[in-house]
Every structure is written in structure tokens, then in C-alpha cells.
Amino acid sequence: MTNRFLVLAVLAAAMAALMPHATARATATLAEPPAPAITAVQLRPASTMLVQPCPVVLVFHGDITTTRATSVTYTWIDSRGKTWPARHRRFSLAGVNAVTHKWKVGKPGKMLDYWVQLKVISPESMLSNKVPVHFTCAK
């Protein structure tokens, strides 16, 4: 009978030793996925005059708001369907992270009526507001 109690005690100790690991695995499996890394994408208007010499280099300033350090892939798009090459940035802190884009556009005597948008590709897909580009190029 003592051997029987000894076997039961060894089994109970082994099960107790295994239980914390089993509980941790079950908890990890049921854990919520992390919150999105990107919470906002905002684009500020470029400074333009109603009539200006062309071609002109416009500079767009955007903000990508993150909840944590993350790598972000983004691009710029316009109303003509043009997409610029994707850019990659590593943001080391949570918060508002600035990005810029330069666009050389316009020909003398032509009117421009476009919009530009900042597009985050990853870690989540998100679009900024559309910023109008509307002016006439001087002859």
C-alpha cells in the first residue's frame, strides 16, 4: 500500500509541475491580438498661390500616428492614378511621426486640378485625407 501512495504522490507532483506550463500555453493561445499599430494618417495642405511660375516643387507634410514602435511602409497617390514608389521607415516611438513628399508639377500656362493622398500600406492599410492641388501656372 505504501508503494501505491508513493506512485500517487509522484504523479501528483509531476502533474503540478506540468500545470503551470499548460496554463501558460492556454492563456497565450486565448490572448487578444495586439492593438493596431497605426491609428491615424493625416496630410496637411501644400503652400501654393493661385497663379505661380511652373514647374513648381510642392512639398507635402504628413503625419502617421502609431501606438508603438513599428516599421511602416507608405506611398503617395494622386487623382490621376499615379502611385509613387513605396517608402519604408522605422518609427522607434509611439506618437505622431512626420513624413514629407516633394512633387515637381506643372507647365507654363496650364491649370492644375489634382489631389494628393498619403497611403500607409503596412502594418495596416490606411489612407489620409485628400489634399487639393489647384492653381494656374504663369505663362
**69-73 — which CB contacts under 8 Å span 24+ positions?**
69/93, 69/94, 70/37, 70/38, 70/123, 71/122, 71/123, 72/37, 72/38, 72/97, 72/120, 72/122, 72/123, 73/120, 73/121, 73/122
Is pTM beyond 0.75 here? no
Q: How many structural domains are present in the chain?
A: 2
Write out pLDDT tens, residues 44-62: 988 888 888 999 999 999 9
Give yes or no: residues 27 and 51 share one domain. Answer: no
Q: What is the pLDDT of residue 49?
A: 80
Give yes or no: residues 61 and 126 share one domain. Answer: yes
Write out pLDDT tens, residues 3-45: 555 555 555 665 556 555 554 555 555 676 678 899 999 999 8
